[in-house]
Amino acid sequence: MRLTLRVLLATALTLALAVAGRAADYETPSDRSAKDIVPAEMLKGPHYKVRDVVPTDGYTDRWTVDSNFGIFDVEGDGALRKLIHEIGAIAELDKASKTKAFLQGLGGASKAPISFVKSLVTHPVDTVSGVPKGAYDLVENVGVSATEKRNPAEDARYAQALKMSSFKRDIGAKLDVDVYSSNKALQKRLNSLAWASTLGDWTFSAAMLPAGVGGAVVSNVRLANSVKNVLTQEPPQRLRIINDEALAKMGISEDLRKRFLDTPAFSPRHLTIITSNLAALDGVAGRDAFLTVALGAEDETQANFYTAMSQLLRGYHQTVAPLAAITPLNRVTVAQSTAGPAFLALPVDRLIWTDRVDTVTAQLKSTYAAQGFNGKFEAWLTGTVSPRARQELSARGFVVTEHAGSRVEVLD
């Protein structure tokens, strides 16, 4: 009996030491310097400065930007690019709001009912920033509810009836900004100018604003331009109809279509980009599986994650090898290509070697057996991978591509 106890204790100690040694080999998330992540020209502009310390959870970078219009906190490198672009647009909108024509428009708008003044000037934004959890919860499969809910920045019905929505989309298109953005500073200015155009004596002219203020360069802009056009031309209610019809054409059930289109985390822009990219996966099985996984998005950061994932899937399908089927893997997906490799679209900023990455990839390596699979995996990241993670993944047959957004169009 004593011998058995000694054996058990020795075995337990050996296992504990093995686990401790194994854990010691894993990487842990740590703060990074902004200059090591993005180009130097992004770090400072006429109206903003990016703080140097960038915390990360192992997947998503968390940025703080000081600007002339307030302090902004965003999650994700794509969100940073979008924010910097929006800050430039805010500056241009401020210039337009100081013109004589705009001030005259305000005078005319004063004749409108007081309810419009209160809703569109005093409280021009109907959004809540929420508590983004981002890619960490998606990849780690952690289910934590948000403490606040974010509502898409859609126009109120009465404003749409007075063509405010149309003016707002025109202004947004001219500056190449997302009119459904959760950026309150941007929304306030977009709504003010659209309001003056709609209710006042001021007639908006696109010539009054500069064309674009920057933005990402993509390898193929055809689909991006198509999406931007429909977002500019159609109000939210019409976008819903268009997206529903496109999803129905793919064979998506009515129940799943409704649940997807009703997911609070997704703005009309998110929904339109995802639907357009899934439509481009013509003949690929499992698009309903992608939507089912995407239903788990709980905030804007997670909505951005799935929106980027749909674009990476479409990009690989059109530029590398056609995809045959998509299957769920926890809260992400694996797509089988007709060329043999399985494809993982991972819109993460930084992938390091953690226990979770070790476990999931080992499980995937040992259990994945789709028809036509040749034993190899390809993973596309929108960000970068640590040298250690690349080494370990390579040993398991994973080929990792960094900065996939430079290969195919990915709208932030």
Q: For residue range 213-256, list pLDDT tens digits in order.
A: 544 334 345 778 889 999 999 989 899 999 999 999 999 999 99
Give the SS3 label for residue 24: helix
pLDDT at 193 (0 to 100): 84
Indicate the pLDDT class of residue 105, thresholds 50, 70 and 90: low
Q: Is there a domain that residue 19 lies in?
A: no
Q: For residue range 37-72, list pLDDT tens digits in order.
A: 999 999 999 999 999 999 999 899 999 999 999 999
| Domain, as residue range, for 111 | 35-46+74-208
Q: What is the spatial distance between Cα 245 and Cα 98, in angstroms, rounded to a whole number? A: 43
Q: What is the mean pLDDT of the chain?
A: 82
Task: Give the residue-averaged pLDDT of 158-175.
Answer: 76
Counting the structural domains of the chain, the total is: 2
Q: Under a CB-based contact definition with an 8 Å cutoff, are residues 266 and 178 in contact?
A: no
How many residues are given for the chain? 412
pLDDT at 412 (0 to 100): 87
Residue 409 reports pLDDT greater than 70: yes
Indicate the pLDDT class of residue 124, thresholds 50, 70 and 90: very low
Higher-scoring residue by pLDDT: 309, 203: 309
> In degrees rounded to 5, what are phi and psi of residue 36?
-90, 0
Residue 205 reports pLDDT greater than 70: no
Q: How far is CA 283 from CA 243, 338, 376, in A?
A: 18, 12, 23
pLDDT at 195 (0 to 100): 77
Q: Which residues of 56-77 are buried (b: 16+ CB within 10 A; e: fewer)?
A: bbbbbbbbbbebebeebebbbb
- Residue 326 carries which side chain, given as an amino acid letter? I
DSSP assignment of 232-293: HHS-HHHHHHHHHHHHHHTT--HHHHHHHHT-TT--HHHHHHHHHHHHTSTT-BTHHHHHHH
Q: State whether 227 and 362 are in the same domain.
A: yes
Q: What is the spatial distance between Cα 17 and Cα 21, in angstroms, rounded to a whole number? A: 6
Task: Give the residue-averaged pLDDT of 391-411.
Answer: 95
Q: State whether 203 and 230 are in the same domain.
A: no
Q: Is there a domain that residue 2 lies in?
A: no
Q: What is the pTM of this model?
A: 0.83
Residue 167 tokens read as: 């003016």
Q: State whether 329 and 390 are in the same domain.
A: yes
Bridge-partner residues for 70, per DSSP? Answer: 67
pLDDT at 92 (0 to 100): 93
Q: State whether 168 and 195 are in the same domain.
A: yes
Q: Is there a domain that residue 52 lies in?
A: no
pLDDT at 98 (0 to 100): 82
Q: For residue range 251-273, list pLDDT tens digits in order.
A: 999 999 999 999 999 999 999 99
Radius of gyration of the chain from its Cα atoms, rounded to whole angstroms? 24
Q: For residue range 341-390, list pLDDT tens digits in order.
A: 999 999 999 999 999 999 999 999 999 999 999 999 999 999 999 999 99
Q: Is there a domain that residue 153 lies in?
A: yes
Give the SS3 label for residue 54: strand
Q: State whether 333 and 297 are in the same domain.
A: yes
Q: State whether 332 and 385 are in the same domain.
A: yes
Q: Is there a domain that residue 7 lies in?
A: no
Q: What is the spatial distance between Cα 390 and Cα 314, in angstroms, rounded to a whole number? A: 24
Q: How large a percentage of the chain has pLDDT more than 70?
A: 74
Strands 350-351 and 44-45 come out as unpaired
Strand locations in 7-96, DSSP E? 32-33, 44-45, 48-50, 53-54, 62-67, 70-75
